[in-house]
Chain A
Amino acid sequence: MAPSDHRRPYKRPAISDQQRRRDHSLLRQAQNRLDAQQRARCLASSILSLENPETDSVPDLDSTTGQEQSEVPPKEFDVRQASKLRGVEARRWFARQLMLPEWMIDVPDRLSRDWYVFARPAGKRCFVVSSNGATVSRLRNGSILHRFPSALPSGSRSRDASGTSQSYSIMDCIFHEPDQTYYVIDILCWRGYSLYDCSAEFRFFWLNSKLAESGACGPPSQYHRYRFSLIPVYNCDHNGLSAAYMGAVPYMKDGLLFYNKEAKYQTGNTPLALVWKDENCSQYVIDTDNQGNIPIQQQVVLELQDDGKLNTSDDPPVVFGCLDSDFVHKSGLHSGNLLRFSIGDNGLSFMEERLDKADLCYIGKSNRARAFADSYSKIVFQHMVRHSPLKMDDFLSSITSSDDQENQLNDIEMTG
């Protein structure tokens, strides 16, 4: 029955610091949970299937940015918001955001006139986004490679003058481990100015003039952790092709990239950018397995469909074969699974330049880090490498013959 002690706190703050710490933590956790929820919700299926990019159902991720959103082209907006994505969703999203060259399985027409060529550096393909005083590089699977200060616009805190937080830049790069350098292969956005819809010709011009200007090509310093570097890009004529193929570069080469001059930056697989390799310009011509060994038989990854068909990642997909439903059922496979096959002795057979038959042997499910099946061009390129590769000479001769043709045309014109 002791009456309560009426002693009151004397010269003491009303709340203990421990309670404050607890409250701060709870607040942070609640906020993080909301963020995670928000992220998950914004992965509305429409964002993921970008086949239909103009869909209006992309939810507003952050109502406070609603103002600026209308001024920002939707693609870049997605890129910045997508940095909040995680896991499988992020892998899919980021993989779809890069322009993915097809493998060169035949030589395009007008190579010397319409195309650029350059030596692709060996390394990690990534997106580099600088904004808000920080620079973040993300691999194709969406995971962060580095987060660092850089001399790119808004790329570090020290350079507040270089732009507001709305000003951000996005580049398509390859990070080359041996010299710790980001080699910029394309530019998507500079200081908030979108270059997605510009031709490659313009993008390369812009890249050449702006990157050096920013100081990003300078040596690393406290506010610029990694060096950025331009790659010499050549017209795809005889000289250009030889320079790209044989010329000395400070990086290890991994094949040649061909870009059509008129091509806009198109996300996903595109025939307007092509990759080609041989043993002289790449260590990785033939695909290796998980252990880094070259399998005796070529392996391919295909996506299983509802009806048992095995598709490539192309749009529209190419059907490489079909599994019978008993097998699918017994092996516990589902539509959407990525499956690994080896190509048997009968190889691939073509009819009128189209795939007719493929001799597939099932191996198992693919590594789950994979986001997509192989593309048609990759499978065919790999097949060609093993059987009848496309050679440098083929390019050179195609150029020479088309040059001749053009000369002839000109001649006719002049005499006419």
Chain B
Amino acid sequence: MAMEVTQILLNAQAVDGSVRKNAEENLKQFQEQNLPSFFISLAGELANEEKPVESRRLAGLILKNALDAKEQSRKYELVQRWLSLDVVTKVQIKACLIKTLSSPSSDARSTASQVIAKVASIELPQKQWPELVGTLLSNIHQLPAHTKQATLETLGYICEEVSPDAVDQDHVNKILTAVIQGMNSSEANNDVRLAATRALYNALGFAQANFSNDMERDYIMRVVCEATLSPVVKIRQAAFECLVAVSSTYYEKLAPYIHDIFNITLKAVNGDEEPVALQAIEFWSSICDEEIDILDEYGGDFSGDSNITCFYFIKQALPLLIPMLLDTLLKQEEDQDQDEGAWNIAMAGGTCLGLVARTVGDEIIPLVLPFIESNITKPLWRQREAATYAFGSILEGPSPDKLIPLVNVALNFMLTALVKDPNNHVKDTTAWTLGRMFEFLHGSTLDASIITPSNCQEIITVLLHSMKDVPNVAEKACGALYFLAQGYEDMGPSASPLSPYFQDILQAIYAVTRREDAGESRLRTAAYETLNEVVRCSTDETASIVMQLVPHIMMELHQTLEAQKLSSDEREKQNELQGLLCGCLQVIIQKLGSSDATKYAFLQFSDQLMGLFLRIFGSISATAHEEAMLAIGALAYATGSNFEKYMPEFYRYLEMGLQNFEDYQVCAITVGVVGDLCRALEDKIFPYCDGIMTQLLKNLSSNQLHRSVKPPLFSCFGDIALAIGENFDKYLMYTMPMLQNAADLLAHTSGADDDMVEYTNFLRNGILEAYSGIFQGFKGSPKTQLLMQYAPRILQFLDSLCMEENMDDVLMKTAIGVVGDLADTLGSSASPLIQNSVSSKDFLNKCLASDNSMIKESAEWAKMAISRAISF
């Protein structure tokens, strides 16, 4: 077998499809017949210097893929499978892998590095393979340069794969020492130095303790800064990447180095090669991210309650940083706006400028204004574009008071430029800048608006005109219109200033969606997004125009469903379009269905709409499914109990959606739709409940389903119980134990991190919403007494929650509500239980005294229900 494996591995890469297929089949059989021997053959192949590099590399890859998978459940299976192999086999495999690190073939070494890291990621958390780090470190000092390089690379991969708590501090110290030595300028071999620098990037997360030690931190920082001066571009780039990682991981330790780092980055931005310069700019963008977060957390309150201090690095660097960034703006590439994948120094610089504006606010204006003024009318397009981009970049951050006077002056200029400037790049940026003006300086929350009755018409005329321009400009014009409409969103039912132009606007957007070249520059997507926003912000007076749009959108959707014999590429585009059309219909349904004035006229379309949505489920695209499901939820809400007639046909897709673990968004949305159906159909959903409940219970017990879907699954029980009332009795024996067991696991959050606490609270809230729905559903029914047996443990759970410090407002509101629901439904028979519970006393009082009106309201309701229950 070992002799054959080489040939099979080579065949598996053959050009001839049938040879390849046959080889893959052989490999599969081999693996199924004898897994340990299969793994050993692969490891042996990888380690064997006499074998061709192609078969060695594939052997390594197959081994690596046999240890890890993207999907959580599959990954878990693979890990268990590896752990259950016998020790002798594993030792043999690991020996082959370590040996391969010394191979003269760089491909073989690199593949082995990755496999070792995968094995380490399984074994180190289990406290297995304790000698690994020691073995690797001992290699570093003795062996030829290429082994040293491979060993450092391996350490880097291990740090990437393994969580820091699986490696003890002693090993961390040794790894860092080895890595830093490898980075040092005294290391003569550039491959080793590069591997070490890249390894440090991953190892930084392990260096918490070392960064708290001044001497060690100084040393690490010095070596990193030195590496930014290496003659090798890749080393300089990797070193800057390390600096970026340090800036986000160890922001609070940066103060002593920031001055030097500024000088290094300035040099790189001004003169180094682009990959290096981009990382140098990213360092400052990353500092902005940190300071924006910290200042957000301060929330304008500078008493400093936050546990992270803001060092105001950006503010201090401002006088030097701004000119550096403005210079980059003039380094645009031709046609960068037509290239989706473009990322260059001008783009990075402008993005950073925008972040700086958000970090420092008003202070940036006087530093940027002269640049804008001196460049915006220049004959060279680069100067005009740079000036416009600079202006657009600083529109978020500074106060509207400071910006509005500037924008009032600039608005006309921009409108003219959008029509008249000969350069597409300038027009693109101009339209984008207009969009930013509308996004940040127009809307009901502002005292003053830059849009007045006198300029509104011109703005619209210009934007509609630009929507006929080349795709990238038209896309930005759509974006600007999006924000223009959004600004009128909260105006209420009063007449919108857009109403007189509404018909023209819808027609223009619709025309864009149908442009032949709408596939370029994301134009079609942008047009539908704008269409959606315009519809969302429309008022009753323009509802009839929205209504006229419905048959057109339905027709488009119909056509996508009729299209035959598409290539896979066309099929993908078709699915994307279906998603967009369903999304658009969903927005229209929500809009027209929410107002009595339009709902009845609109519902004439519901049969046709439903027919189209059901056909979407025949396609394979998860995005289209999700959009169709969302639209159906909105339709159910609008149609109410009449939705019953669609249930026989829709039901199987509902079940399919609930079973879609892989695209968990589809599953999550479907769970939400079950809630919509419960409220629309009420007791008419009962005939479908056996199937739905079975699936919901399955989903809850599955460990394959994404965890974010679980809280809504619990809430969904409540929706069902509320809809079908006492008929829920047949499900009690399944749901109640499940809710109770889940509740027991969630009674305490001590020791959990913020993320876990938040998730736990979501779960608790879901469980309590289920209890609420069940209690309320049974109210007044003779079967109420069935719930009595569960009451003690529910109150116990509530009592344990009351002792918790980590309850958020939503949870408190739900919890006190359940206390009331229990009392309301069980009445006097639960009176002794209620009187003995903490939740009906201290917790109730705490909620009654809450500042939060939601909590207070629920608490008052609970107080009333409790007093009635115990007074009988």
Q: Which residues of A contact B (CB under 8 A)?
A: 1, 3, 6-8, 10-11, 13, 17-18, 21-22, 24-26, 28-29, 32-33, 36-37, 40-41, 43-46, 48, 57, 59-60, 63, 86-89, 133-134, 147-149, 157, 334-336
Contact = CB atoms under 8 A, between A and B. Distances in A.
Nearest to A157: B597
Interface string B414-430: 00000000000000110
Contacts of A26: 672
A16 to B, nearest CB: 8
A59 B596 contact: no
B630 A6 contact: no
Interface stretch (B36-44, B95-103, B320-328, B773-781): B773-781
A8 B600 CA distance: 46
Contacts of A6: 244, 278-279, 282, 285
Main secondary structure of the interface of B (DSSP, over half): helix
Contact of B672 (A7, A29, A60): A29
B614 to A, nearest CB: 19
Nearest to B623: A18
Contacts of A7: 343
B385 interface: no
B826 to A, nearest CB: 12
Interface in B738-787: 769, 772-773, 776-777, 779-780, 782
Interface stretch (B80-88, B130-138, B305-313, B675-683): B675-683
A180 to B, nearest CB: 15
B865 A44 contact: yes
B241 interface: yes
B864 interface: yes
- Max chain B Cβ within 10 angstroms of own Cβ: one of A18, A147, A334: A18
Contacts of A36: 679, 719, 722
B834 interface: no
Interface string B579-592: 10001001100100
Contacts, number: 140
A64 to B, nearest CB: 9
Contacts of A86: 682
Interface stretch (B59-67, B153-161, B360-368, B547-555): B153-161
A13 B481 CA distance: 13
B602 to A, nearest CB: 13
A269 B769 CA distance: 39
A17 B432 contact: no
Contact of B675 (A8, A29, A60): A29
Contact of A24 (B241, B351, B590, B772): B590
17 contacts: A1-B160, A6-B278, A8-B348, A10-B343, A17-B525, A18-B583, A21-B583, A25-B586, A25-B630, A29-B672, A32-B637, A37-B817, A40-B776, A41-B776, A60-B860, A87-B725, A334-B782
B157 A1 contact: yes
B682 A41 contact: no
Contacts of B824: 41, 44-45
B630 A157 contact: no
B238 A17 contact: no
Given A25-B634, A32-B675, A157-B597, A17 B532 contact: yes
Contacts of B533: 17
A22 B626 CA distance: 9
B657 interface: no
B66 to A, nearest CB: 21
A59 B863 CA distance: 10
B616 to A, nearest CB: 15
Given A1-B157, A87-B682, A88-B725, A21 B587 contact: yes
B853 interface: yes
A32 B676 contact: yes
B819 to A, nearest CB: 12
A22 B666 CA distance: 11
Interface in B193-216: 198-199, 201-202
Contacts of A3: 198, 201, 238, 241, 245
A184 B468 CA distance: 58
Given A26-B672, A87-B682, A37 B772 contact: yes
Nearest to B599: A147
Nearest to B433: A11
A28 B202 CA distance: 43
Contacts of B350: 10
Contacts of A22: 630, 665, 669
B782 A336 contact: yes
B633 interface: yes
A334 B780 CA distance: 13
Contacts of B868: 44-46, 57
Nearest to B392: A11
A279 B586 CA distance: 54
B201 A1 contact: yes
B199 A1 contact: yes
Contact of B820 (A25, A28, A41, A134): A41
B583 A17 contact: yes
B780 A48 contact: yes
Contacts of B245: 3
A10 B351 contact: yes
B529 A17 contact: yes
Interface in B468-490: 476, 479, 482
B245 to A, nearest CB: 8
Given A44-B864, A44-B865, A335-B782, A1 B202 contact: yes
Nearest to A147: B596
B722 A40 contact: yes
A10 B865 CA distance: 55
Given A3-B241, A21-B583, A59 B864 contact: yes
Contacts of B669: 22, 25
Given A6-B278, A11-B476, A29 B202 contact: no
Contacts of A41: 776, 817, 820-821, 824, 861
Closest 8 CB pairs of A and B: A40-B776, A17-B529, A134-B596, A334-B782, A6-B282, A3-B241, A1-B156, A7-B343
B870 to A, nearest CB: 13
B821 A29 contact: no
Contacts of A157: 540, 597
